[in-house]
Amino acid sequence: MTEQHDPAAPDGGLPPITREHDLSPIQRKTVKKSVIGAMAGNAIEWFDYGIYGYLAVHLSNQIFGGTEDAILWTLFGFAISFLVRPLGGAILGPLGDRIGRQKVLVFTILMISLATAAIGLIPTYEQAGWLAPALLFLLRIIQGFSAGGEYAGAAVYMAEHAPDDRRGFWGSFLEFGTLLGFSAAAILVTAMETILGPDAMEAGWWRLPFLLTLPLGLVALAMRARLHDPETFTEAKQQDTRTSAWQTLRDLVTQQPKQLLKIMGITILINTAFYLVLTYMPTFLTTSLEMDATQAGLMLVGVQLVMMAVIVPLGALTDRIGRRPLLLTAAIGFTLFSVPAIMLLNTGVVALQVLGLAIFGLFLVMLLCNISASLPALFPTTVRYAGFALGYNVATSLLGGPAGLINEALIESTGSTLVPGFYMTVAGIIGLVAILTFNETAGRSLRGDRVPGDDDRDRIAVGETLIGKVAKER
């Protein structure tokens, strides 16, 4: 159990709400270091996913022999890592709640960096036959297991370090790192395609982006090795009587089933949108819509750069008006406008295609700016890492990560290029249902043994002013 609160105390025994202006200079420096360390590792993780998506056509030729089904096998290689992410989440998440966030984050960034760099050393199908795709699948499995603890850990770590009144602002930097990694992948691959040409890329230059992950990962590793666990975690751990990660996992599943379903619902929306728009879209534009690879890359880079420019201001906005307004707007937007956006991409008119991508980018950035502030706040401290890692990765493995493979297969079987729009519409509805059940957590404390926001009425009773919708009694 975590700390208990005395309702007879003047403040009702409620956990204090931390505010940025109350932090000492040393504490502010610690917040910044923690944000940069978490963001750097996250950027490396998504640089990997980005380059895989942008190099999918070359991988299909070099690793899978360029056969008729090669692109589907390549997308399966992308999806396979998501099959083991729940296992990684189930092991690494509870471990992070037991031994600490920082130790697990050091492990995950090391494994992701090594596995990604190793993809750049795989022999081609012509050189090694079936061994080439087998090695790729193995490395993607290692990446997936590690990613099962990486993203959840980085989000929880950042959320627990940030002051409660600025968690949206600081948390949005994690997703800035996500977009930075994807944008870097898009810019690098698009530049190489333009300067070197397809023949040179096929001849071996496709390996370079993967190999670059190793030095980048070592830099992120050095940064994380110097970080420390947040006080929110260390305080709760002192009061926690659990003796094993297995107990943490058991208590999570038995005590927080509703919260697990909530995070799974919104994750289906977030990651379906994320992987369709930022990872599968290059393949969709070049194969299904037969767009030039360079043009597709430049359009997507432009959308991502705009998203990077607005994500931090949007994160700060959630600190003032609450998380729920932007989350609800995004879910409704994906539900209503996903099919029209795909129709715009189908027109073949560049201006309308940019508009279609911009619609997806707008609603996606509304989700991304919220993740690190909203999702960790769905769980109490002692099961927070485990809850985020398990729920997030199970949902991602079901519909989010395999979205590209599923959509490509449906497009081939139905002949309709509107499939991604309908797929996103379904995800939007699922996400909307989940978000409607969320507590408002802007400005709420992450400390204590209750789900943040569950104590809203207790706080109002002692005279506190809260942002957004007040949670109902439970």
Phi and psi (nearest 5°) for 63?
A: -95, -30
Whole-number pLDDT of residue 120: 95
Position 98 pLDDT exceeds 70: yes
Average pLDDT over residues 251-262: 92
State the first-to-last Cα distance of the chain, in angstroms, to the nearest integer: 19
Judge residue 412's burial from the number of C-beta atoms within 10 Å of its C-beta, 0-12 exposed, 13-18 middle, 19 or more buried: middle
Tell me the average pLDDT of the chain: 89
Q: Which residue has the tokens 């094993």?
A: 244
Rounded to whole angstroms, the Cα distance separating 298 from 190 reads: 7
- Tell whether the model's pLDDT for residue 4 goes beyond 50: no
Across the range 229-248, mean pLDDT stands at 81
**Percentage of the residues of the chain whose pLDDT score is greater than 90:** 54
Q: Is the pLDDT of residue 54 over 90?
A: no
296, pLDDT greater than 90: no
Q: What is the pLDDT of residue 12?
A: 56
What span, in angstroms and rounded, lies between the C-alpha atoms of 213 and 19?
A: 37
What pLDDT was estimated at residue 473? 59
Per-residue pLDDT averaged across 1-29, rounded? 69
pLDDT at 187: 87
Distances (CA, A) of 138 to 77, 83, 143, 204, 233: 9, 12, 9, 21, 34
What would the pLDDT profile of 188-220 be if each residue is shown by its tens digit? 998 998 899 889 999 999 999 999 999 999 999
3-state class of 147 per DSSP? helix
Q: Is 438 helix (H, G, I), strand (E, B) or coil?
A: coil
Lowest mean pLDDT among 197-201, 275-279, 380-384: 275-279
* pLDDT at residue number 474: 53
Mean pLDDT (whole number) for 401-412:
85
Q: In percent, how much of the chain has pLDDT > 70?
A: 96
Residue 1 — pLDDT band, cuts 50, 70, 90?
A: very low
* Mean pLDDT along residues 310-331: 96
Work out the average pLDDT over 295-314.
89
Q: What is the pLDDT of residue 3?
A: 40
Q: How confident is the model at residue 6 (pLDDT cuts 50, 70, 90)?
A: very low
Helix (H) or strand (E) holding 121: none
At residue 7 the predicted structure's pLDDT band, cuts being 50, 70 and 90, is: very low
* pLDDT tier at 468, thresholds 50, 70, 90: confident
Query: If you ran DSSP here, which 8-state letter would residue 285 be given?
Result: I
What local confidence, expressed as pLDDT, does residue 234 receive? 86
Best CA proximity match to 147, nearest among 105, 95, 187: 105
Residue of 235 and 122 predicted with greater confidence: 122
Q: What is the pLDDT of residues 110-153, one digit of tens each?
A: 999 999 999 999 999 999 999 999 999 999 999 999 989 998 99
CA 407, CA 288: separation in Å to the nearest integer? 11
Task: Give the separation between CA 145 and CA 86, rounded to whole angstroms.
Answer: 8
Reported as a single tens digit per residue, the pLDDT across 342-375 is 999 999 888 999 999 999 999 999 999 999 999 9
Cα 220 to the center of its chain, rounded Å: 18
Residue 439's pLDDT band (cuts 50, 70, 90) = very high
Tell me the average pLDDT across 16-21: 89
State yes or no: pLDDT of 9 exceeds 50. no
Q: Is 22 exposed, middle or buried (0-12, 13-18, 19+ CB in 10 A)?
A: exposed
